[in-house]
Structure 1
Amino acid sequence: MLNSKQEESLSKFMSKILRHTPEQFGIELDHEGYCDIRDLINGIKSEKRWSAVSESDIKQVVDHCPKQRYEIVNGYIRANYGHSSGRLEYKEAIPPSILLHGTNAKVAAVILSEGIKPMGRKYVHLSEGVEFASLAGKRRGELVILQVDTQRAVQDNVKFYLANNGVWLADFVPARYLTKFQ
């Protein structure tokens, strides 16, 4: 059983591998970003620090990750979002009437005037709940949560995609649909 510090460290390493550098660890992702969990374990074990990592350690990270970054299905694992190579395709869907975006006070005014851009990611990340928006936004400074009027946005042909676990994606959210969340 990993302690919380080890769990966080392993989660970051898994993210690096699954989201950014799978090929450096001999891992080939399928078109949906999955790989065999045994391949991931072998890749992780290539680092001396993680030579004793087990499938139960991986499952512990997946089960305890507050951002629900990973998904395991039938012995295959993937990072749910944030891939830097390729772009996972998600089904377009009608979102709840309001979605939230966590950011920091330093950039909130810019976002409110220019809209939410992917900023080096493949999609804009939005959430149904305050908890996830807070997790996403507070890591970069003073938290500001923005609210997206998705009903108006959908009427104007802004497309939203359901990732999973209450996470929604968009290519871009224009400023006219944004307000500060109360």
Structure 2
Amino acid sequence: MDKQELKRLEKILFAMLGRQPDAFGIVLDKGGWVSIKELHQALMKESGVSHITQRGLTQFFSLYRPEQFEWQENYVRVKLELQSPDLTIYKEATPPELLYVSIRPKAHAHVIARGLQTSKNKKWIVLSTEKEMALRIGRRRDKDPVIAEVMALKSNKAGVVFRRAGKVLYLVEGLDPQWMNIPPLPPVREKDKHREPKSSKAKPGSKKIPKGIAAPSLEQIGAFVLRDTPSHIVSSDLDKTKKNKKSRDRDPEWKKARRRRKRGAKNKEPT
């Protein structure tokens, strides 16, 4: 990146981390920290800087070292003295009547049954006053997120605690399905109903044997056949047979004639 690009990137990152993180769908940790990965996911949706890779963003902080930022391993923040006041203080607040939240399609059925919960890697459930912002946040994890309406005001009156994170974001620690209008699960397609289990599918390149036709023997297809007799004994017997045949072939003619006479005499013996 040239100097102009570096300055442009520094300016937008300062706005994202030091002024209005909620405008970019970002929730900062205590002290204003955010992971490089999450920051890059948000940056990819911004025009003019969407081409920057996560590795390039890491190098921006580690090599360029902009003075307004602090960088530690995989986390970054704007210096405390430069952050807007109360940037990471999320106070309890009364929410509007409706809020919106994004759901990963893989978790769709789970959310319908059990609602939304936080985890070790996810401290807050992030909701937005704008459907478009909820969609924007959801697309960082899945290209087609499910958007659910949250009956925020009703749930708040019932005891659910909401916290304000900027102008457009609200945070909760959990949300039961009764407080959400969740779109139904998509219908199972007809072809999916009749789809064979993976274990029963034939491997690529394999051919099915038509009914009524016997499968070829192992010898016919060139496979090895296991014997009850150990291979070293079988090979030893074969070697002895070959050796005896070769020795007979090398015998002189008079010895071969005598052998033939003996065989003839045995055949003439009365039974």
TM-score, scaled relative to structure 1: 0.58
Give 1:113's aligned amino acid. A
Q: What is the CA distance between 1:6 and its match in structure 2?
A: 5.4
For this pair of structures, how many residues does the alignment match? 136
Corresponding position: 1:19 with 2:34: yes
- 3-state DSSP class of the match of 1:140? coil
Structure 1 outlier segments of 4+, above 6 Å:
14-17, 70-74
Q: What is the CA distance between 1:165 and its match in structure 2?
A: 2.7
- Match of residue 76 from structure 1: 83
Corresponding position: 1:2 with 2:17: no
Q: C-alpha separation between the residues in 2 aligned to 1:174 and 1:138?
A: 23
- 3-state DSSP class of the match of 2:150? strand
- Match of residue 179 from structure 2: 177
- Match of residue 137 from structure 1: 138
Q: C-alpha separation between the residues in 2 aligned to 1:127 and 1:72?
A: 27
Q: 1:146-172: per-residue Cα shift (whole Å, max 9, x none)? A: 111112211210010111031000111
Which aligned pairs between 1:92-103 and structure 2 lie closer than 5 A? 92-103=92-103
Structure 2: 5+ residue runs without aligned partners?
Answer: 18-27, 37-58, 70-76, 184-271
Cα gap change, 1:46/1:146 in structure 2, threshold over 3 Å: closer, same or farther?
Answer: closer
Give 2:94's aligned amino acid. I
Q: Which has the higher strand share?
A: 1
- Match of residue 237 from structure 2: none
The percentage of counterpart residues that share the same residue type is 21
- Match of residue 107 from structure 2: 107
Q: What is the CA distance between 1:105 and its match in structure 2?
A: 1.5
State the structure with more CA Rg: 2
Q: C-alpha separation between the residues in 2 aligned to 1:106 and 1:46?
A: 34
Q: 1:4-52: per-residue Cα shift (whole Å, max 9, x none)? A: x957xx68xx78982359xxxxxxxxxxxxxxxxxxxxxx98722x24x
Cα gap change, 1:72/1:175 in structure 2, threshold over 3 Å: closer, same or farther?
Answer: farther
Please provide the CA RMSD for this pair.
4.1
- Match of residue 62 from structure 2: 47
Cα gap change, 1:47/1:71 in structure 2, threshold over 3 Å: closer, same or farther?
Answer: closer
Q: What is the CA distance between 1:71 and its match in structure 2?
A: 8.2
CA contact (8 A) 1:116 1:172 kept: yes
Corresponding position: 1:90 with 2:102: no
Q: C-alpha separation between the residues in 2 aligned to 1:102 and 1:180?
A: 10
TM-score, scaled relative to structure 2: 0.41
Cα gap change, 1:72/1:156 in structure 2, threshold over 3 Å: closer, same or farther?
Answer: farther
Which aligned pairs between 1:50-69 and structure 2 lie closer than 5 A? 50-51=64-65, 53=66, 55=68
Q: What is the CA distance between 1:108 and its match in structure 2?
A: 1.7
Give 1:76's aligned amino acid. Q
Q: C-alpha separation between the residues in 1 aligned to 2:136 and 2:79?
A: 22
Q: C-alpha separation between the residues in 1 aligned to 2:80 and 2:96?
A: 26
Give 1:132's aligned amino acid. M
Q: C-alpha separation between the residues in 1 aligned to 2:138 and 2:60?
A: 32
Cα gap change, 1:72/1:126 in structure 2, threshold over 3 Å: closer, same or farther?
Answer: farther
